[in-house]
């Protein structure tokens, strides 16, 4: 029934159990003219945009009620995500009150958040409107932030969502394969970046996963910036390690992968021992973290597995988190695989949940050559992980 996106139905089906876990009775998404100022939670839990003041209620008991302007009603019904669609003409107050009295939720989470931008779609004007509409009812006093709901919902990827991330990874690895055939010493980071964009343009329907200024990031040699900077005029020289950090968006879902190449010096037939050992250490630290990763373990402990493996082999710690969630954006959801450092606040203590999709991306410096790194993506299954990208198995080597 309905022409709606099946993924929205998958996500809405997850909401009741999330609400039960949190002890929240109802999630209320309140919005108007959602095409103009688009609350990101519409993509997960509403679907089609609305024009007039609209309320979307999902309860722990499985009710789904939409209250929308009468002219938006046919479109909502056509999409079919909400079983009950109430259309009003004069104003939303009366119907919203009626529905709330019937459902009578004690705790009502609404779509704002102080800390998390992606959960903060309710405007202040609409908050004031909602409070006014609920004036004189007990419900005005029962409102709280839905940040935890949005975070759980974004994090726990449905089968369709995982399939889309896998497809974005597959296209990205295809781009890397074609890039590898074109690489040679003497190219600049900028030239490699341009080649990646050329290869991407050959695949229809791909966008960039993050800001174009550093998507891709290209880093060559021992003096490279190493992360979060755009490609420079720095030239790849024999003996360099080069790494690329790149992601695409396909069907609204992102990849974010890193691969590492070594450029042979004259007379070399393989990368030097130091480079090999550094890269093997990265791969082994990723494999160890992936073996440890499962529902219920803390993000800080997952990070510690990879981090201690690397320092145990005599390398310095990587100056960032082991991995972040990925989905509709390259950094998606609160859970993070990060060390217990002040800047990460309470994040290292958050337990990993089934369905979350994480990058794994440690790094280490190989003196005189550059940065050894690799980034792959896994989905957390009930008893382990599923790889969404084919992991890099050996260092890519480019002839002299």
Report the interface residues with a second copy, using CB under 8 A. 3, 32-33, 35-40, 48-49, 51-53, 69-72, 74-75, 78, 88-93, 112-129, 145, 210-211, 213-214, 225-230, 232, 319-320, 329, 331, 341-343
Q: How far is CA 98 from the centre of its chain?
A: 37
CA-based nearest residue to 356, from 395, 302, 276, 305: 302
Smallest gap from residue 181 Cβ to a second copy (A): 30
User: Which residues are 254's β-sheet partners?
Assistant: 249
Query: Residue 48 or residue 355: which is nearer to a second copy going by CB?
Result: 48
Q: For residues 53 and 59, which CB has a smaller minimum distance to a second copy in the complex?
A: 53
Q: How far is CA 19 from CA 65, 116, 144, 276, in A?
A: 16, 19, 13, 49
Ramachandran angles phi, psi of 306, nearest 5°: -70, -45
**Closest distance of CB 194 from a second copy, Å:** 16
Picking from 191, 185, 188, the residue whose alpha carbon sits closest to that of residue 235 is 188
| Residue whose tokens read 């010493």 | 185
DSSP string covering 228-293: SS---SPBP-TT-EEEEEE-EEETTEE--EEEEEEEPPTT-SS--HHHHHHHHHHHHHHHHHHHH-
Place of tokens 């690895």: 173
Task: Indicate the residue among 38 and 394 with the shorter CB distance to a second copy.
Answer: 38
Min separation Cβ 319 and a second copy, Å: 6
Cα 280 from Cα 262, distance rounded (Å): 13
Cβ closer to a second copy: 185 or 321? 321
Asked if 68 and 49 count as a contact pair (C-beta separation under 8 A), the reply is: no
**Which neighbouring-strand residues pair with 65?**
57, 84
Nearest approach, Cβ of 57 to a second copy (angstroms)?
Answer: 18
Closest contact distance (angstroms) between CB of 329 and a second copy is: 6
Query: What is the closest distance, in whole angstroms, from the C-beta atom of residue 171 to a second copy in the complex?
Result: 21
Query: Least separation, in Å, of the C-beta of 39 and a second copy?
Result: 7
Tell me whether residue 128 or residue 159 sits nearer to a second copy (CB atom).
128
Q: Which is nearer to a second copy, 48 or 155 (CB)?
A: 48
Cβ proximity to a second copy: between 120 and 376 the closer is 120
Report the SS3 class of residue 328: coil
């Amino acid at each position: 029934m309905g022409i709606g996106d099946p993924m929205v139905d998958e996500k809405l089906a997850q909401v009741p159990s999330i609400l039960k876990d949190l002890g929240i009775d109802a999630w209320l998404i309140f919005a108007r003219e959602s095409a103009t100022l688009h609350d990101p939670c519409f993509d997960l839990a509403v679907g089609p945009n609305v024009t007039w003041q609209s309320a979307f209620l999902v309860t722990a008991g499985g009710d789904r009620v939409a209250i929308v302007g009468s002219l938006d009603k046919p479109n909502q019904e056509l999409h079919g995500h909400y079983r009950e669609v109430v259309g009003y003409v004069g104003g939303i107050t009366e119907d919203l009150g009626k529905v709330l009295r019937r459902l009578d939720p004690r705790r009502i989470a609404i779509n704002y958040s102080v800390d998390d931008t992606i959960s903060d779609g309710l405007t202040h004007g609409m908050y004031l409107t909602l409070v006014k509409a609920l004036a004189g009812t007990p419900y005005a006093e029962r409102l709280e932030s839905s940040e935890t709901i949005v975070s759980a919902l974004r994090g726990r990827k449905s089968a369709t969502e995982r399939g889309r991330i896998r497809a974005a990874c597959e296209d990205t690895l295809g781009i890397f394969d074609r890039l590898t055939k074109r690489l040679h010493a003497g190219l600049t980071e900028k030239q490699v970046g341009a080649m990646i964009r050329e290869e991407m343009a050959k695949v229809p329907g791909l966008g960039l996963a993050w800001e174009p200024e550093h998507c891709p990031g290209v880093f060559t040699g021992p003096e490279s910036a190493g992360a979060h900077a755009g490609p420079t005029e720095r030239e790849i020289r024999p003996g360099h390690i080069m790494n690329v950090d790149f992601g695409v968006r396909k069907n609204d879902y992102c990849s974010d992968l890193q691969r590492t190449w070594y450029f042979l010096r004259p007379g070399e037939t393989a990368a030097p021992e130091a480079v090999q050992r550094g890269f093997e250490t990265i791969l082994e630290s990723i494999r160890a973290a992936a073996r440890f990763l499962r529902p219920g373990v803390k993000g800080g402990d997952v990070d510690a597995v990879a981090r201690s493996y690397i320092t145990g082999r005599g390398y310095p710690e990587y100056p960032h988190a082991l991995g972040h969630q990925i989905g509709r954006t390259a950094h998606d959801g609160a859970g993070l695989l990060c060390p217990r450092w002040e800047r990460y606040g309470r994040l290292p203590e958050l337990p990993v949940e089934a369905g979350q999709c994480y990058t794994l991306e440690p790094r280490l410096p190989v003196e005189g050559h550059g940065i050894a790194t690799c980034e792959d993506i896994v989905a957390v299954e009930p008893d382990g992980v599923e790889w969404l990208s084919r992991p890099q198995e050996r260092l890519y080597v480019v002839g002299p």
